[in-house]
Amino acid sequence: MSATPSAPAPRTLAEGQRCRVRIHDLRTHESTTVLETWELLLEAPNWHRHGRLVLNGDGSLWTLDVESGALAQIAIDGVPDLNNDHVLAPDGVTVYVSANDFHLYAAPLAGGEARRVTGDDHGRLHFLHGISPDGTTLAYIGLQPEGDEWWARAEVFTVSTDGTGDTRLPQGGSPADGSEYSPDGAWIYFNTELFTETPGHAQIARMRPDGRDVERLTYSDRVDWFPHPSPDGARAVYLSYPSGTVGHPADRPVELRLVEADAWDRPATIVSLQGGQGTINVNSWAPDSQRFAYVDYPRDEA
C-alpha cells in the first residue's frame, strides 16, 4: 500500500494579491464585495441560515457577517488544520469538515470539540462536499493515491454522519469531485471525467444517491466543476475553467455559470473572475436562492 501523501500547507496570498469575498444578486445582476483583505486567504463560502458566511482560511473556519463585514474565527478543538471542504448541517448548529489528516469530522458551529466521522479504510483520503437534506448522510470524494498521483482514483462515496454505512458509488466514474445532494435528496450532483478520453476534461453530471441513473448534464468545450443547486431547486451555479485545464487550480481566469430550471444545455456566464480553487468549492447559495457568495483573488497591476 502506498504511503499517505503529505497534506499541503494552508494557502496564502501572493505578493500584490488580495482576497475578496463577494455576493452576487440575481435580481440586480451585480456583485458586491463584503470583505477585502490583503492578509488572509479565505476560501469556500457557505451561507448560514442566520445571515452569515462560513469560510475556510489559514487552516481554520471563520464566520463573516455579510452586513457589517465582521470576521471571527471558529475555535474547533481536536482536529489538525482544515482544508476548504466543509458543509453546514440542516440543524444550523453542526458543521462537517475535511481536515488535513484526510478524515471527516463533525464539530459545533459555535466552536468546541470535534468528533471524527470516518474510519481508517485502507489509505483512502476523504474530501467532503455534500450532506443529505435530512442531515443523516455525507457525500464525499474518496481518493486512492498511487505514488505521487493523488487522483489515480477519485470516486464518490457516501457515509452516515455516525460513521457507518460507508459506500462507494463507482458508477460516477473517476476522477470525480464536488459531490453534492439536490435539495430534495433525489440526486447527487458532481463533476466527472467519465464522458471523455481527454485528461482533465471534467463535465457536470448527476446520479441517484445509490449510484443509479448517471446523467451527463454539460456538453462543454470548457472544464466544468463544483455544481451547486439552489435551496429551492430552481437553478444551479457551477465553476467553469478554460479548455485544457487539469484539476481545479487556483489563480486562473474562470467563469461562474448559471443554469435556470434545469436547462443545462443553456448555461449563462454571469461572473468572470480571477480564481478557481477556493472560489466556490462548496454550496454558497443564500437561503432565499436569489444570491450566492464566492471568492476571487485579483492581483494589483504593476
pLDDT tens, position by position, 112-154: 999 999 998 777 899 999 999 999 999 999 998 887 777 778 9
Q: Which residue has the cell 435528496?
A: 185
Residues with Cβ within 8 Å of residue 160, at least 6 apart in sequence: 136, 137, 138
Q: Enter the C-alpha cell of residue 234.
A: 430552481
Residue (of 62, 61, 65) closest to 51 by Cα position: 65
pLDDT tens string 160-204: 999 999 999 999 998 999 999 999 999 999 999 999 989 999 999
Residue type, 231: P
pLDDT digit string, tens, across residues 34-79: 999 999 999 999 999 888 999 999 999 999 999 999 999 999 999 9
Cβ–Cβ under 8 Å, residues 282 and 47: no
Burial label, 231 (beta-carbon count in 10 A; 0-12, 13-18, 19+) = middle
Give the CA-trace dihedral at 30, 34, 37, 42, to 10 degrees.
Answer: -90
Report the candidate in 10, 81, 16, 88 with the shortest Cα–Cα distance to residue 49: 88
- Summarised one tens digit per residue, pLDDT across range 231-255 is 999 999 999 999 999 999 999 999 9
Written as nine digits, the cell of 59 is: 487552516
Q: Are 216 and 196 in contact (CB under 8 A)?
A: no
**Residue whose grid cell is 487539469:** 246
Residue in the block written with cell 444550523? 92
Per-residue confidence at 110, pLDDT binned at 50, 70, 90? very high
Three cell numbers, residue 10: 494552508
Task: State the Cα–Cα distance between residues 196 and 178, nearest whole angstrom.
Answer: 18
Q: Which three cell numbers stand for residue 31?
A: 456583485
Q: Look at residue 148 in the predicted model and tell me its pLDDT.
A: 76
Return the closest-CA partner of residue 17 out of 282, 290, 286, 278.
278
| Three-state DSSP class for residue 236 | strand
User: Where are the alpha helices (H) located in 3-133, listed in sequence order?
Assistant: none
Strand partners for 71: 64
Q: What integer pLDDT is reported at residue 146 of this predicted model?
A: 82
Contact assessment for residue 295 and residue 250, using Cβ atoms and an 8 Å cutoff:
no
